[in-house]
Amino acid sequence: MNGRHPFQVITQWQNPATSEVHVFKSQNIWFDPSNYIHTDTITVFYEKGDLQQYYVDISFLPKLAT
């Protein structure tokens, strides 16, 4: 958008029952969130039985001033 590229928080989880690794991507973020991530754990909400329907919780990030 306007020559800029968004950032995303990308996290993964390995299902202990199947050993499959699932990758989850946040919505677009218009600033570099690296300095605000101080944990190894990011919360992901998903639809029961459907890991394709998910939401990466980035509410801990500051809001971009408009």
Domain boundaries, the chain: 10-56
**Pairwise CA distance, residues 31 & 11, whole Å:** 18
Task: Write the pLDDT tens digit of every residue in 3-16.
Answer: 889 999 999 999 99
Q: How many residues does the chain have?
A: 66
Task: Write the pLDDT tens digit of every residue in 6-60.
Answer: 999 999 999 999 999 999 999 999 999 999 999 999 999 999 999 999 999 999 9
Give burial (CB, 10 Å; 0-12/13-18/19+) of 9: buried
Model pTM? Answer: 0.86
